Chains A and B, each alone.
Chain A
Amino acid sequence: MNTVNTLMALGLREIWEHPNLVWRLPVGLLVINVTLALLSVVFGLNYLGSADLNLSLQTDVNIADGPAEAVATFFCLAFFLMGQLVVLSYLLGALFQERKDRSILFWKSLPVSDLEVVLSKLLTGVVLIPLVYLLIGFITFLMVALVLWMGLSSFVEELVSGPSLLSAGVLVVGDWLFVTLKQMWWGLPIFLWILLVSSVARSQPLFWALGLPLVGLLIESSLFSQTVVSSWFWAHAQPLPLAAGFDHAELLGGPMIGPDSVLSGVVALVLGALTMLGRRYCNEI
C-alpha cells in the first residue's frame, strides 16, 4: 500500500464519518437558495433583490461589474465563510473523537502511520472541505442565476445571454478559488493548532484551543507590554477576506511567499510535528 492510496482511503473514511459537514450542509444550503429563487420567480419575492435584477440583467449592463458578479460574489463569500467555520469544527473533533470513543485502538491496529492519519485529517479539513464548499457555492450561483434568468426571460425582451451569465460566474469563482488556496496557507498555523489540541486534549478541546492563546495574549501583554506573537496568531485566526478588510486588490494581490508566509510555514511545520507526536502518544481517554 503506498501513501497516496492510503491517504485516498483515509480521505474516503473522513467523508463517510462526516457527511453532514463535508457535503450535506452545503447541498442543503444549495437546495434552500434554489427554492427561494424559484419562489421569487413564481410569487414575485424580492430574493437577492431579484426584482431589481429585472432591470439590471439586460444586455446594456456591463456584466462584469453588474449584478451577476455581485450575486456570484455573494454565494462564493457565503460558502467560503461557512466552509471555514466547518473546517474549525471538523478539526476540533478530528483526533479527539477517536480517543473519546476508544476507536483509536482499532485505527491503530491497522498498518497506517500516525503521519498518514494526521495528513489525511489535515488535507480533508484544509483542502477538501473548502474546495467542496466553493464548488457547491458556484453551483448554487449557477442554479439561482439560471432560475432567475428563466423567470425574467418571460417578460424582459433583451435579456443578457446565458453564456454571459456563466462567464461572469466563472470569473468570480476563479478569483475565489485563488482566495481559497491562499487561505489554506494563511490559516495553516491556526488549523494545525486546533488539530494539535484535538490530538492531546483530555476534554473540552474548544476550551483549550481558545483558552491557551487567550492566556498567551494576557501573559505577553502584561509581561512584555506588547502583543506581537499573540497579534500574529489572532490575525491568522481570521479568514483571509476579513483580515484583508474585504479589499479586492489586497485579497487577490500580494506575493504568496514573503516573511509572513515563511513564518506561517515554519509554525505549521512545528505544530504538525507536535500533532503527530500527540497522535502517537496520547491514546484513548
Chain B
Amino acid sequence: MTPYASINKVSKRFGQHRALDGVSLEIPQGGVLGLIGPNGAGKTTLLKAMLGLSSFEGEIDILGRSPRRSRHELMQSVGYISDVGILPSWMRVDQIIQLSASVHPNFSELKAWEILEHTQIQPKQKIKTLSKGMITQLHLSLVLAMDVKLLILDEPTLGLDIVYRSQFYQQLLETFLDGTRTLVISTHQVEEIESLLTHLVFIEHGRLRLSETMDDVFERFSALDAPSASLATVRSLGPLSETPTLTGASFIFDSITADALEGLGERRRVGIAELFVGMMGPDLRSVS
C-alpha cells in the first residue's frame, strides 16, 4: 500500500540550532503512529513541516501533495490539533461549527453536534468561557466531524486531567480509527497511548532514533526483571539499559534471543516509556 506520507531527508534550522537533521520516515495507511521525544527534540517542528506550516529542506509528500505548495487543498484530507488551545477565543461554539461546515467540503455539522451532545458544551457558549478540557473536546469534535484520512495530534492532552485524557482517547478509538485512517500523535503521556500504537518513532536532537512497527519493537526489544543474584551475568550480556528495583534490576535488551535470557529472571514485554528512557541515555529519567 502506498504510504500516506513520505518524509525524505528533511532538515530545519533555527539559527545555529538544527531542529531537524535529515529525517526520513514513511507513514503508512491505517494505524496509529506515536512520535515520542523529549522537549526540543523536533516533534512539533516535524509535524508543522508535514502540515506546510513551516519551511524546511528536503521533501515531504502527504497524500500525494506537497504541504508547502498545496496546504489548503491538503487540509481537506488532513486534520490537526496543536499542542496549545488555538481555537479563536472570541467565537461561539455554534459559529465555529457553522464556519467549519461552510469552508470544509468533508465536514459533517450533524456529526459535530452528535459528538458535542455527550459533553457539557453549549452551542451559544463563547470559546473563551470554556475550560481547557472543554476546548480540547470541542476541537476534537471538529476534527472528528471532518472526514479526513490523516489526523495529526501534537500533544493534544497536554495539561488536561486524567478524566478528560481518558475521554479523549476513548472518543478517538470509537470515532476515528477504522483501519484505513491514520493517526499521528505526539505526546508525553506515553502510557496512555501505548495500547493504541501500531508504529513507534523516537526522535532526539532532530534525528530519528527508532522507527518500527510495534510488532517489530516487541520482537526486537526484550525486558528482563533480574534478581540481585544474577545481575553480574545479565550485565555481561550487554543490556541497553539498567534500572535498579527493590529486588534487583530491570534490563532492556536490543536483539537478544529468549534462550540467552533463560533462567536469569522474569522476561516480559518491553514498555514504551522504559524503552524510551533506556534508548535516550542515562541522563533522561522521565519522558518529558
Contact = CB atoms under 8 A, between A and B. Distances in A.
A108 B54 contact: no
B267 to A, nearest CB: 44
B220 interface: no
Interface of A: 1, 5-6, 8-10, 12-13, 16-17, 98, 101-114, 116, 281, 283
A106 B105 contact: no
B54 A283 contact: yes
B258 interface: no
A111 B103 contact: yes
Given A1-B104, A109-B79, A111-B103, A103 B72 contact: no
B76 interface: yes
B103 A1 contact: yes
B99 A109 contact: no
A110 B103 contact: yes
B14 interface: no
Contacts, number: 79
- 10 closest residue pairs by CB, A with B: A9-B102, A103-B88, A113-B72, A111-B75, A109-B80, A105-B86, A111-B76, A106-B86, A105-B82, A111-B72
A105 B104 CA distance: 16
A283 B103 contact: no
B55 interface: yes
B88 A6 contact: no
A5 B72 contact: no
Given A108-B71, A109-B75, A109-B79, A103 B104 contact: no
A113 B100 CA distance: 14
14 contacts: A1-B104, A8-B102, A10-B103, A16-B91, A16-B92, A98-B88, A103-B89, A105-B53, A106-B82, A108-B71, A109-B79, A110-B104, A111-B76, A111-B105
Contact of B87 (A16, A103, A111, A281): A103
A32 B51 CA distance: 49
Contact of B53 (A12, A13, A283): A283
Interface in B69-98: 71-76, 79-80, 82, 84, 86-92, 95
Which label, helix, strand, loop or mixed, suits the secondary structure of the A interface? Answer: helix
B interface, size bucket? 20 to 34
Given A108-B71, A109-B51, A111-B105, A13 B99 contact: yes
| Residue of A110, A113, A114, A116 with most partner-chain B CB within 10 A | A110
A105 B100 CA distance: 14
Nearest to B96: A106
Nearest to B89: A101
Nearest to B72: A113
A101 B48 CA distance: 17
B95 A1 contact: no
A108 to B, nearest CB: 6
B79 A9 contact: no
B105 A9 contact: no
B73 A111 contact: yes
B99 A9 contact: yes
Contacts of A5: 102
Contacts of A103: 86-89
Interface in B235-267: none
A175 to B, nearest CB: 37
Contact of A108 (B53, B87, B105): B53
